Amino acid sequence: MRRRVLVPLILLATLALLMASTGETPTDVRHLLELVEKLRPLHTRLAPPRPGDWLDVHDEPGQTFREYLDSKPVTAHGKRKVIYIQPLGEFTKSQQAIVDGTAEFLRAYFQLPVMVKESWPESKVPAHARRRHPHWGDEQILTTYVLHKLLRPNLPDDAAAYLALTATDLWPGEGWNFVFGQASIRDHIGVWSIYRKGGPDGGEEAFRPCLLRTIKTASHEVGHMFSMHHCTAYQCNMCGSNSVEESDRRPLLLCPECLAKLLYTTGAEPLERFRQLVSFCKQHGLTVELHLYEQSMEAITGR
Ligand SMILES: [Zn+2]
Ligand SMILES: [Zn+2]
C-alpha cells in the first residue's frame, strides 16, 4: 500500500524537478524523432576521411540526437537566447554586407533573435595584441585578447552567443601562423575573421562564396555553443573541417540528427525555419542550398 503511493510521488517530484530545470516544457522529442526519419533519406552518409581531413587527424565519436539529449545540453529555453554579432574594425561596403547577411542567416537558421552591436574601432586592440606576420606581412589581431579582454567583460546577460567578426587576419599566439577563428564555448564567446574566406569585393561571383563560407562557419560555431558536437555520421554543417577546402566540401545543411538537436534546443518550428532559409537562399543566389531546403520541406509535408 505504501509502495503504491510512494512511486507516483517520486514520479511527480522527478517531473517537477525536470520542469523546473528547463523553465519551459521542451519540444516534443517524439515528434522530432519522427521528423528525423522523414528527412533521413535525403542525406548522405559521411565517406571515410581523405588524408589531412578533420577525422583523419582527430578521433571523434560523433553524437546522435539521443546522446545529445542525455548530455543535458545548453538550450535557449532559459534567459540566454539572443545571438549577438560584434563587428570589430573597418569593413568595406561588401564586407559589411557579409556581416548583415550573416546576421540574417543566423536568425533564420536558429530562429532566435540576432542583434548586430555597434561596431568597435580596431584601436580597441592595443599594439601588444597585434602584429605583422613575420614572413607574410599580414596584419593580425590576437584572438585571446579579443575573447578575454573585449568580449568576456561585455557579455550581455541574455547572450546565448557573443561573436566578434572582423575583416583583419587573426592569430592565437606563439607558434601559430594564423587562425580562422577561436571560441570559448563555456563563456558563450567567439571571434571569427572573414580575411581568409575569399574577398567579397569583386561582384556577385566573389560575394557569394565569401557569404556561404562565413555563414557556414558562424552557424557551425554557434551550434557548438548549444552543446552540439561534431557530426561523424553524415555530410553535415556540424562536421569538423581542417581547411577551407574541406569546409567547402561540407554542406550548409544539417543532417537530420543535428537538425533535431537544433530544434530541441531552440524550440523552433521546422517548416517555418525551412521557409525562411529558402527565402534567404533565393535572395542570395545560393541555388544548391535552396534546392536542398525545398526538398526538406517536401519531405516533411509529404508534397
Ligand atoms: Zn567545430
Ligand atoms: Zn550532423
Task: Give tens-digit pLDDT for 52-106.
Answer: 999 999 999 999 999 999 999 988 888 999 999 999 999 999 999 999 999 999 9
Output the CA 39–ligand 2 centroid distance in Å: 12
User: Cell triple for residue 67?
Assistant: 546522446
pLDDT at 7 over 90: no
Q: Identity (one letter) of the amino acid at 118?
A: E
Taking the CA of 65 as reference, the closest ligand is: 2
Q: What pLDDT shows up at residue 15?
A: 40
What is the residue whose three cell numbers read 541574455? 158
Residue 33 domain-assigned (yes or no): yes
Output the CA 29–ligand 2 centroid distance in Å: 17
Residue 245 domain-assigned (yes or no): yes
Residue 32 domain-assigned (yes or no): yes
3-state secondary structure of 44: coil
pLDDT at 228 over 60: yes
Domain count, the chain: 1
Output the CA 54–ligand 2 centroid distance in Å: 14
Taking the CA of 220 as reference, the closest ligand is: 1
Identify whether the C-beta of residue 203 lies closer than 8 Å to the C-beta of residue 18. no
Output the CA 259–ligand 2 centroid distance in Å: 7
Residue 57 domain-assigned (yes or no): yes
**CATH number of the domain bearing residue 185:** 3.40.390.10
3-state secondary structure of 159: strand
What is the residue whose three cell numbers read 568597435? 120
**CB-based contacts of 291, cutoff 8 Å, min separation 6:** none
Q: Name the nearest CA neighbour of 49 among 257, 245, 253, 183.
A: 245
Taking the CA of 192 as reference, the closest ligand is: 1
Which secondary-structure segment (H or E) carries 98? helix 93-110
List, by residue number, the catalytic residues. 221
Task: Give the other-Cβ count within 10 Å of 30's Cβ.
Answer: 7
Domain that holds residue 113: 25-301
φ, ψ at 8 (rounded to 5°) = -60, -35
Task: Give the other-Cβ count within 10 Å of 69's Cβ.
Answer: 15
Q: Which of these ranges, 9-23, 113-127, 129-143, 264-278, has the smallest mean pLDDT?
A: 9-23
Residue 177 domain-assigned (yes or no): yes
User: Cell triple for residue 216?
Assistant: 557556414
The pTM for the full model equals 0.86
Q: Is 135 exposed, middle or buried (0-12, 13-18, 19+ CB in 10 A)?
A: exposed
Identify whether the C-beta of residue 268 lies closer than 8 Å to the C-beta of residue 283. no
Residue 9 domain-assigned (yes or no): no
Q: What pLDDT shows up at residue 197?
A: 77
Residues 243-290: tens digit of each pLDDT: 888 989 999 999 999 999 999 999 999 999 999 999 999 999 999 999
Output the CA 222–ligand 1 centroid distance in Å: 9
Residue 5 domain-assigned (yes or no): no
Output the CA 32–ligand 1 centroid distance in Å: 23
Output the CA 150–ligand 2 centroid distance in Å: 32
Sheet order of strands, 189-193 included = 114-116, 82-88, 159-166, 189-193, 181-184
Task: Give the other-Cβ count within 10 Å of 11's Cβ.
Answer: 10
Residue 47 domain-assigned (yes or no): yes
Of the pLDDT bands very low, low, confident and very high (cuts 50, 70, 90), residue 2 is: very low
Taking the CA of 190 as reference, the closest ligand is: 1
Please state whether beta strands 159-166 and 139-142 pair in parallel, antiparallel, or not at all (unpaired): unpaired
Beta-carbon neighbours within 5 Å of ion ligand 2:
231, 234, 236, 238, 255, 258
